[in-house]
Amino acid sequence: MNDRQWLIAFGAGLVILSVVLYALHFLVFHDLYHIGIYTLGDIAFLPLEVLLVALVFHQVLASRDRRQRMDKLNMVIGAFFSTVGTQLLTYISNNDPNLDEIRPLLMVTDTWTNETFREVAKRLKRHPCRVRIEDVDLDAIKRFLGSHEDFLLRLLENPLLLEHEKFTELLRAVFHFNEELQRRPGFPGLPETDLTHLAGDLERIYGLLIREWLDYMRYLQKNYPYLFSLAMRTNPFDETASAIVG
């Protein structure tokens, strides 16, 4: 019996049981008046019951389910930053000619409030996120991303990413840049137009990566203080960063 047939049979069984119980009530007490009162009362309460079950309880369960999915998604984001993101952000930002303008803003601490994170996020939207492509060791980035290509591909295949468009866009940008690098046998002697193209790809990653990193730091501070502690000590914008607790 499939699910639909089972539900129909179950519903019919409940209706029949209700009719039998009402009939039993009448046979014992011979009182249609009270049967009518209680039946009408039950029917009158039915819309409220539907409201409670269909709306309130459903929303509570949906909210809980969404929180669980977001926790799992942030585990994926955490794996990305631990494996690729933090090191990539460190390298790219070190080749930002305007880094000194935002470095002091990104010294995240456990005293930051939601308002602090919002203000820094607004300031980052005005930051140009430029990269001195002539100073970038493209061979090193090619080797680094190439060694993590399978990891990036597995992240892209994760269905949880449907919940987070910005992070999906970041992964696509990183994956595209890696593909661009892997298709070039070498980088010395590249024409200026090609270097400009690669700079644009890298700057796209930089802009997405720095904002995603800030969001992730905010999430860790609020939900996982022990993970946030390590993230602060390995801040890619802190020149004195060290995982060692001093």
Asked whether residue 175 carries a pLDDT value surpassing 60, the answer given is: yes
Asked whether residue 69 carries a pLDDT value surpassing 90, the answer given is: no
Average pLDDT, the chain: 87
Q: pLDDT tens-digit profile of 100-131?
A: 999 999 999 999 999 999 999 999 999 999 99
Lowest mean pLDDT, pick from 50-64, 83-97, 165-179, 182-196:
50-64
As a whole number, mean pLDDT of residues 18-33 equals 79
pLDDT band at 1 (very low <50, low <70, confident <90, very high): low
pLDDT band at 165 (very low <50, low <70, confident <90, very high): confident
- Mind giving me the DSSP string for the chain? --HHHHHHHHHHHHHHHHHHHHHHHHHHH--HHHHHHHHHHHHHHHHHHHIIIIIIIHHHHHHHHHHHHHHHHHHHHHHHIIIIIHHHHHHHHHT-TTHHHHGGGG---TT--HHHHHHHHHHHHT------GGG--HHHHHHHHHHTHHHHHHHHT-GGGGG-HHHHHHHHHHHHHHHHHHT-S--TT--HHHHHHHHHHHHHHHHHHHHHHHHHHHHHHHH-HHHHHHHHHT-TT-TT--SS--
